[in-house]
Amino acid sequence: MHDDRNLVEARLRRVLDERIRPAVYPESVPLQVAVWHAPGEPVPVAEGLAAEPAPIEVGARWGAPWGTSWFRVTGTVPEAWAGRTVEALLDLGFDENMPGFQCEGLVYRPDGTPVKGLNPRNQWVRIGAPVEGGEEVRLHIEAASNPVILDYHPFRPTRLGDKDTAGHEPQYTLTRMDLAVLDETVWQLVLDLEVLGELMAELPVDSARRWDILRAVDRALDAIDLQDVGGTAAGARARLTEVLAAPAVPSAHRISAVGHAHIDSAWLWPLRETVRKVARTTSNMTALIEDEPEFVFAMSQAQQWAWVKEHRPEVWARVKKAVAEGRFVPAGGMWVESDTNMPGSEAMARQFVHGKRFFLDEFGIENEEAWLPDTFGFAAGLPQIIRAAGSKWLLTQKISWSQTNKFPHHTFQWEGIDGTRIFTHFPPVDTYNCSMRGSEIAHAARNFKDKGRARHSLAPSGWGDGGGGTTREMVAKAARLRDLEGSATVVWETPRAFFEKAEAEYPEPPVWVGELYLELHRATLTSQARTKQGNRRSEHLLREAELWAATAAVRTGFPYPYEELDRIWKTVLLHQFHDILPGSSIAWVHREARATYERVAAELNSIVEAAQRALAGEGETPLVFNAAPHPRAGVPAGGAATPCTNGATTLAPRPEGGHVLDNGLLRIEIDAQGLVVSAYDIDADRETIAPGAAANLLQLHPDFPNMWDAWDVDEFYRNTVTDLMDADSVTAGEDGASVRIVRSFGTSRVTQVLTLPPRERRLVLDTEVDWHETEKFLKLAFPLDLHVERYASETQFGHFHRPTHTNTSWEAAKFEACNHRFVHLTEPDWGVAVVNDSTYGHDVTRTVRTDADRGTTTTVRVSLLRAPRFPDPETDQGVHRFRHALIPGAGIADAVREGWWINLPERRTTGAVEVAPLVTVDNEAVVITAVKLADDGTGDVVIRFHEAHGARARATLTAAFPYTDLTVTDLLERPGGECEPPVRDGDRITVRLRPFELMTLRLHRLRDR
């Protein structure tokens, strides 16, 4: 037999494109169109419907960037179409390759009832099936003219990312506004041929199944009259029946398809536009659920559900109905799909508290899976948090984007820093926007790394990022793939159903220990410094507000601000979304974030000040409130007292030029260029700075990654570096304990104040950068005289060790990593910590010196600022302030304590009385991260704490208030928790904790009668 495969496949492509697809809508008539352009921001639906539009013709330009236009389309169904299926085809000027990334619309009936969303892959609205003929059609479209930010030439700087700079030129051309007859037989033929053609392309050329399909397709094409596709489509379909009915082999890979629309809560659009994206998508998905009895749709991010409830009550009613039917499924149990590297311990816990509680309160549904398909890597502390929230599974996909190493599993147990394991799945389809193409399904089956032990994988299916969701074409393809020879089998299932099957078939999966590091998007630890500072400071202000408000409520009857704290927490959690906190959103998003963080700070400071005033009373006694979990200067943790003051710092000229600071514990030498050339630990007789090197060294690199500008820093940035050695001035501070340094470079200026506090083992570096560079990366280096093979970085509820060497490609790929408040490096008897108040990115490298001592220099570099131009061309321009501290002679306990110190500065006031802590703990290894009143309003006190040093710990907590009983709870403050029960003896509670173990206690207070 002659090989005519290429001939038949080419024939299929052309006939489909030029004859069969155009015949899906064989007849059409134009609709009349009018438009009203809303001034300014989007208007309420009622206002948009009531506005008086002006006529507009197909082919006209419309839509200024970020504008809203209300189209009214009217027409009459021709009498001749009676008995046929009729749809409105509404093309706003779509590019079908950009679903979710350009203009979109939501269709309403005249009474304001939402019908469905419009996007590039979903342009139809059903009028009738069948129609009677003569029906009057009147629809309204709320159309958003969102500009294209990520274009065919991606990553080019654009001013379209902020309404203030985007201009007013129309973005789109109105393309089609018709009533059309849908030929459902031709539509089904298109899907038959697409599924078979895509499957055929994935099968081996020498496979009998491929040739069976080829011959069937050839016969079907023979049956098509190209001048009468509609009249011959049924005959063509009949010739495909046999190959479509052939069942899959018993060993076929099994795919659980989950309807999905990954909607970034902000990214290349602002938060307000996401509210509308969610409304469009949920309208579409509830409509699809009504039409397709097997389809199941899952949506994560409780915040997005809350937006629908608040802003689109008509859509919310449809959503609630579909949830009750088990077809529209809450997923993930988090407030948003957050970044997981940078959020602090309590914030990461509250993502689950507020997310799970929303779904429990609204639907009575308990989520057991964490759903984070697009998050940029996962911190090693996360498994314990997932388990403590009452969940047990994790899904993500993003690790498949890693550039260097391919992750060895798709289904596995992920073990965190405390030993908690979470059953985890990476969909081998390698996308969270699966569209049911044959190439995607075949890739999932081939790519699955756990063959021979497991057969199930999950495929999130639907257009995402900008929303849109699953289409009827995807559902139709899935129906054909349910049991089809040569293909993996596909069935619509909920995430829970998938995980239950996957866990049952794979009872002993492999284990991965430690962080799930994404070998990509490393620069998200640094981009948009103000957003990151806003997050860090909000987290610590929330701790203070809860602590002092709870203390005041118990001691004085102060009204605990339940509603305010709940609202503020949700605001902060929203801004931890994985394109806001990482700094990868458009300028508009970060401009609004800065303003939001300022409002949050003002409101939280007001709560703190009111609670402290209630506690301290009116008086003139100097008081310091200490919100940190460790005592300092005689002030107890969680209390207020008059601080102890003693000791002094001397400041003297350095003979070689510069200055020497000495406080009896440390002697710091700062040379004439403002560099720290010595940090001498007097008690230990130990130098901190490597010989011949200098700390407080600012280093500037070129920073132009190959793609994903705000997201990525590529390793080649290190090839070129400029050490900023020259100082404009180095002067002694007037306080006698500091040195002020000014440097200029490029068009930027740095002002630093280096302070050595009395009797503290801490050199504080306050850095102000007036930053006006472009495509540069600024680092702050500390070359240390330490020989270490690994170092510790703080993460949620503990710390995680990373190697300092690059023995393997896995280690080499971690050339930029995340820490929270500290990094710590130590030899067995002496160590150093570098702590910070708002930075996350860092790198640690090691070299062996070639001089006579042949010692090891281990350099810690803090990442301060970047200047990418996409998607925000003005990223981080302007003034920034950072605080860091170098802690010579630090053990891990010092690193933990100093990390808290730098993030929770003392608050000085005057009052009548000192304030005793509400609860104390006698072991500094046990760190209290939250003291608050229970969320249910009962007045019970909730205390959350963990072992922070990485060792077993026994501790006694003492509560300084009466309570009747105590309960170990999960994060949602419900009875539960997998821990050794505490022992109560009066007001003393003894606990035993594993390394990094987290515990939450609820102390039940006496109720007022």
Q: Average pLDDT for residues 12-25, to the nearest whole number?
A: 98
Residue 117 CA to residue 785 CA, distance in Å, equals 61
Residue 617 dihedral angles phi and psi, to the nearest 5°: 75, 180
Cβ atoms of 433 and 463 closer than 8 Å: yes
Q: State whether residue 996 is helix, strand or coil.
A: coil
Residue type, 638: G
pTM: 0.97
- Looking at the predicted structure, is the pLDDT value of residue 255 above 50? yes
Residue 442 CA to residue 202 CA, distance in Å, equals 7
Q: What is the pLDDT of residues 795-804, one digit of tens each?
A: 999 999 999 9
Q: What is the pLDDT of residues 41-76, one digit of tens each?
A: 999 999 999 999 999 999 999 999 999 999 999 999
Token pair in block for residue 361? 């309160």
Positive or negative CA dihedral for 887, 892, 894, 897? Answer: positive
Note the pLDDT of residue 1009.
38
pLDDT category, 3, cuts 50, 70, 90?
confident
pLDDT category, 472, cuts 50, 70, 90?
very high
Pairing of β 621-626 and β 639-641: antiparallel
Residue type, 341: N
Residue 44 CA to residue 27 CA, distance in Å, equals 36
Residue 689 CA to residue 21 CA, distance in Å, equals 71
Of 2 and 609, the one with more pLDDT: 609
Q: What is the 3-state secondary structure (H, E, C) of 931-987?
A: EEECCCCCCCEEEEEEECCCCCEEEEEEECCCEEEEEEECCCCCECCCCCCCEEECC
Note the pLDDT of residue 977.
76
Note the pLDDT of residue 1008.
56
Give Dmax (Cα) for the chain: 103
Q: What is the pLDDT of residues 487-532, one digit of tens each?
A: 999 999 999 999 999 999 999 999 999 999 999 999 999 999 999 9
- Looking at the predicted structure, is the pLDDT value of residue 873 above 70? yes
Q: What is the pLDDT of residues 763-798, one digit of tens each?
A: 999 999 999 999 999 999 999 999 999 999 999 999
374 is catalytic: yes
Cβ atoms of 81 and 181 closer than 8 Å: yes
Q: Rounded to the nearest 5 degrees, what angle is found at the Cα of 670, between the Cα atoms of 667 and 672?
A: 150
Cβ atoms of 611 and 372 closer than 8 Å: no
Note the pLDDT of residue 79.
98
Q: What is the DSSP string of 78-132?
A: -GGGTTSEEEEEEESS--TT-TTSS-EEEEE-TTS-EEEEEBTTB-EEEEESS--
Q: What is the pLDDT of residues 736-746, one digit of tens each?
A: 999 999 999 99
Q: What is the pLDDT of residues 587-638, one digit of tens each?
A: 999 999 999 999 999 999 999 999 999 999 999 999 999 999 999 989 999 9
Pairing of β 963-969 and β 421-425: unpaired
Cis bond before residue 871 (omega within 30° of 0): yes
Task: Calculate the CA 905 to chain-centre distance.
Answer: 28
Residue 527 CA to residue 865 CA, distance in Å, equals 7
Share of the chain above pLDDT 90, in %: 97
SS3 breakdown of the chain: % helix, strand, coil, rounded to 5? Answer: 25, 30, 40
- Looking at the predicted structure, is the pLDDT value of residue 854 above 90? no
Q: Return the minimum-mean-pLDDT range out of 216-230, 642-656, 710-724.
A: 642-656
- Looking at the predicted structure, is the pLDDT value of residue 645 above 80? no
Task: Calculate the CA 247 to chain-centre distance.
Answer: 41
Pairing of β 254-259 and β 456-461: parallel
Residue 371 CA to residue 678 CA, distance in Å, equals 49
Pairing of β 393-395 and β 421-425: parallel
Listed residue (899, 975, 965, 973) closest to 932, CA to CA:
973
Note the pLDDT of residue 853.
83
The catalytically annotated residue of 91, 374, 712, 876 is 374
Q: Average pLDDT for residues 89-96, to the nearest whole number?
A: 97
Token pair in block for residue 147? 């500009």
Q: What is the pLDDT of residues 209-228, one digit of tens each?
A: 999 999 999 999 999 999 99
pLDDT category, 1, cuts 50, 70, 90?
low
Q: State whether residue 722 is helix, strand or coil.
A: strand
Buried b (16+ CB within 10 A) or exposed e, 542-554: bbbbbbbbbbbbb
Residue 279 CA to residue 316 CA, distance in Å, equals 9
148 dihedral zone (left: phi>0; alpha: psi -120 to 50; beta):
beta
Listed residue (796, 542, 706, 591) closest to 154, CA to CA:
706
